[in-house]
Amino acid sequence: MQWTKVLGLGLGAAALLGLGIILGHFAIPKKANSPAPQDLDLEILETVMEQLDAHRIRENLRELSREPHLASSPRDEDLVQLLLQRWKDPESGLDSAEASTYEVLLSFPSQEQPNVVDIVGPTGGIIHSCHRTEENVTGEQGGPDVVQPYAAYAPSGTPQGLLVYANRGAEEDFKELQTQGIKLEGTIALTRYGGVGRGAKAVNAAKHGIAGVLVYTDPADINDGLSSPDETFPNSWYLPPSGVERGSYYEYFGDPLTPYLPAVPSSFRVDLANVSGFPPIPTQPIVCALGCPVNVSVYNRLELRNSSNVLGIIRGAVEPDRYVLYGNHRDSWVHGAVDPSSGTAILLELSRVLGTLLKKGTWRPRRSIVFASWGAEEFGLIGSTEFTEEFFNKLQERTVAYINVDISVFANATLRVQGTPPVQSVVFSATKEIRSPGPGDLSIYDNWIRYFNRSSPVYGLVPSLGSLGAGSDYAPFIHFLGISSMDIAYTYDRSKTSARIYPTYHTAFDTFDYVDKFLDPGFSSHQAVARTAGSVILRLSDSFFLPLKVSDYSETLRSFLQAAQQDLGALLEQHSISLGPLVTAVEKFEAEAAALGQRISTLQKGSPDPLQVRMLNDQLMLLERTFLNPRAFPEERYYSHVLWAPRTGSVVTFPGLSNACSRARDTASGSEAWAEVQRQLSIVVTALEGAAATLRPVADL
């Protein structure tokens, strides 16, 4: 999981009723007389909830995390086979499963020349060499498959220079050093993880002529200040002193050589000299070091490697051309018990339970369910991105929603969901029916609301969903294809730890025992996430009416509008730019979404025809697509969603508007920058008007 890119706030959806038909040419026997209207079957749902087994999840995790399985490594390939074997199992498998392989550009440390960081004494002699590997505390930190800590995609080089402490390596941090009169040219910047993205630290540093960047994990950021061996793993969940976070320092996502094209062997590849998004200067993650000067020696190599996705499908009985996608990545940095195996262990348990019902003939979903195990996510969401590039139209036309479960358990306190507004209510419906782990018999929903909540003008106090950044494989689905997406996990009680993320993140200490002893003994949080995801999948695949509540977008649009009015209104007025058309567009959307909701409730009271419901469901499914505009932010690779593109501007509103305003702020009226503000305003108004138009009765002009 790429932690450093996760952003702000969002919302969700629900529904019921139905009828069943069987498709002939998919070789499913046509029933003599088709059954009563097919809809979500609460008995099946109950069965699935019961059969999701914590012990089996634990055994899955043990197997998945037994060995390091770095992307494209032999063990990663073994896991491809494990997934295929599970998904093709005659008793508990899916209808079909296959692996698809891409040839992608990855980055690894050299086998022959390990990356080295030496501290040089006053006489020029090396007085200290930083550890090249983590200390072998549990016997799992040694061995050839444990990749040395490194900054993937950082260029090779051997810069030497004085060490300068640059806090988190944010632009402000370097500015601060400048104002203090500290010479940065030719120095080595020592930065700590957090604050800004990994790659950004090197990008910012290079702007000031810095020659190299070191990145370390500060115990204050991840260990609640604890750092001694007896206070850390294997004695607690905290990171041992020698732990070092690995990670990708690539600024974009997808295979760096094939933007917008699938990385199949025949695809055009950008010349390495023209690749953008790599860190500009040698960079190396280390254990906290002090004293200077420093020699940094980075010998990373770029290699074309084969990386596979594994896909499995349960064919829909009635609407096989509607896909509910559920996925997680498979590759880890080392053993990756938490990241990503905690998610994959659940993926396998869910596919087993659903597969068993399928093979027994007790159940087949109304819509198709697609399971995905993505490759090379740690290097930049590569497997999922290449998949969306290869099947762009097919997925965009047919996908109901994408559900992502990467790290399924950060900690045991509460559920945490990120997603787009239409998925809120289906998550709420699911979590209200599932008992939360731990003491008491609260529902997951009732426990969740204690940790993350907001006051909704429509619903009152509700759990708050986070919005989707680019932290995991949901990114291409929401930003590039405009598919309603969500990411589900169990996480911390923030009053109990200030850890930026679970302490052993991307280190060789992220092991099975770590999860089993400290993160989720008993695996009840894993089970809770499995049940939540399972219930959401069943509701999306079996409900006669799609449980995507598009009217929940109205709250987001209204809050974006209010922020624009309050924080930008005066500024815009000074430059005679009116928010009037935006107000009208938001109001139109609200009205049409509400009216559509009314029509649905009316229909639900009657006995609607399947074709009639299909037409309504298409309106619900395709709403998210109407927010896409590939020409809105051409410079932001893949980001086409006018509501969720990256926001650099400080005002929490429509990103194009926010960013354009922050760029125009200090320029004169009539500048290019202010023209761009007007263009971005028109782009979002046109998108909202277009969205409202798709929600109207389909035969209205």
* Residue list 242-281, contact with a copy of itself (CB under 8 A): 260-262, 264, 266-268, 271
Contacts of residue 619, Cβ cutoff 8 Å, sequence gap at least 6: 550, 596, 694, 695, 698
- Single out the residue of 118, 603, 662, 665 in contact with a copy of itself (rule: CB under 8 A): 603
Q: Is 432 in the site for a copy of itself (CB under 8 A)?
A: no
Name residues contacting a copy of itself, limited to 348-407 (CB under 8 A): 368, 370, 389-394, 397-398
Q: Looking at beta carbons only, is 234 or 597 nearer to a copy of itself?
A: 597
Question: Which residues are paired to 307 by β-bridges?
Answer: 102
Instruction: Note whether 139 binds a copy of itself by CB under 8 A.
Output: no
Using CB atoms within 10 A of its CB, is residue 245 exposed (0-12), middle (13-18) or buried (19+)? Answer: buried
Q: How many CA atoms lie within 13 A of 427 on its CB side?
A: 35
CA 330, distance to chain mean position in Å, is: 14
In 3-state terms, what secondary structure has residue 417? strand
Q: Which of residues 212-241 bind a copy of itself (CB under 8 A)?
A: none
Q: How far is the CB of 630 from a copy of itself (least distance, A)?
A: 5
Give least dist CB 673 to a copy of itself, A. Answer: 13
Quick one: which segment of 64-72, 214-222, 249-257, 692-700 binds a copy of itself (CB under 8 A)? 692-700
What are phi and psi for residue 471, nearest 5 degrees? -75, -15
Which of 16, 126 has the CB closer to a copy of itself? Answer: 16
Residue 521 CB contacts under 8 Å (≥ 6 apart), including other chains? none
438 in contact with a copy of itself (CB under 8 A): no
Q: 95 or 245, CB closer to a copy of itself?
A: 95
**Closer of 97 and 411 to a copy of itself (Cβ):** 97
Q: Of 290 and 699, which has the nearer Cβ to a copy of itself?
A: 699
Which lies closer to a copy of itself via its Cβ, residue 313 or residue 417?
313
In the set 611, 635, 666, 668, which binds a copy of itself (CB under 8 A)?
611
Q: Does 631 bind a copy of itself (CB under 8 A)?
A: yes
Residue 176: Cβ within 10 Å count: 13
Measured CA to CA, the distance from residue 15 to residue 428 in angstroms comes to 12
- Helix/strand/coil percentages in the chain, nearest 5: 40, 15, 45
Stretch that binds a copy of itself, among 129-137, 204-212, 277-285, 612-620 (CB under 8 A): 612-620
Per-residue 3-state assignment (H helix, E strand, C coil) for 306-369: EEEEEEEEECCCCEEEEEEEEEEECCECCCCCCCCHHHHHHHHHHHHHHHHHHHHCCCCCCEEE
Catalytic residue (choose from 377, 378, 389, 592): 377
**Residue 435 Cβ, how far from a copy of itself at the closest point, in Å?**
34
What CA dihedral angle connects 440, 445, 451 and 457, to 10 degrees?
-140
* Minimum gap (Å) between residue 650 Cβ and a copy of itself: 23
Three-class SS of residue 414?
Answer: strand
User: Which of the residues 47 through 76 are near a copy of itself (CB under 8 A)?
Assistant: none
Nearer to a copy of itself, 32 or 290 (CB): 32
Known catalytic membership, residue 377 = yes
**Binding of a copy of itself by 685 (CB under 8 A):** yes
Nearer to a copy of itself, 603 or 673 (CB): 603
The span from the CA of 311 to the CA of 372, in Å, is 5
Q: How far is the CB of 583 from a copy of itself (least distance, A)?
A: 11
Question: Which run of H or of E encompasses 388?
Answer: helix 382-390
Q: Which is nearer to a copy of itself, 6 or 304 (CB)?
A: 304
**182 lies in the site for a copy of itself, by CB under 8 A:** no
The verdict on 601 binding a copy of itself (CB under 8 A) reads no
Structure tokens belonging to residue 225 = 């200040």
Examine residue 615 and tell whether it contacts a copy of itself (CB under 8 A): yes
Site for a copy of itself in 526-585 (CB under 8 A): 578, 580-581
Q: How far is the CB of 636 from a copy of itself (least distance, A)?
A: 13
| Angstrom distance (rounded) from CA 515 to CA 504 | 10
User: Reduced to 3 states, what is the DSSP secondary structure of residue 519?
Assistant: helix
Contact 237, 510 (CB under 8 A): no
Q: Restricting to residues 74-113, which ones interact with a copy of itself according to CB under 8 A?
A: 95-98
Q: Is 32 in the site for a copy of itself (CB under 8 A)?
A: no
Minimal distance in Å, beta carbon 623 to a copy of itself? 9
What tokens were used for 623? 């709403």
Tokens in use for 257? 């050589």
465: alpha, beta or left? (left if phi > 0; alpha if psi -120 to 50): beta
The three-state secondary structure class of 688 is helix
Q: Does 602 sit near a copy of itself (CB under 8 A)?
A: yes
- 308-327 residues near a copy of itself, rule: CB under 8 A: 311-313, 315-316, 318-321
Our CB check for a copy of itself shows the closer of 240 and 316 to be 316
For residue 129, the cross-strand partners are: 118
Question: CB of residue 164 vs a copy of itself: minimum separation in angstroms?
Answer: 39
Q: How many CB atoms lie within 10 A of CB 167?
A: 18
- For position 472 contacting a copy of itself by CB under 8 A, the verdict is no
The alpha carbon dihedral of 515, 517, 522, 524 has a sign of: negative
Contact 189, 212 (CB under 8 A): yes
Shortest gap between Cβ of 331 and a copy of itself (angstroms)?
21
Tallying the residues shown for the chain, one arrives at 701
State in angstroms the smallest separation of the CB of 371 from a copy of itself.
10
**# chain residues binding a copy of itself, by CB under 8 A:** 76
Q: Is the dihedral of CA 504, 151, 659, 694 positive or negative?
A: negative
Nearer to a copy of itself, 462 or 621 (CB): 621
591 contributes a contact to a copy of itself by CB under 8 A: no
CB 450, min distance to a copy of itself, A: 40
Q: Does residue 626 interact with a copy of itself by CB under 8 A?
A: yes
Q: Which residues are catalytic?
A: 377
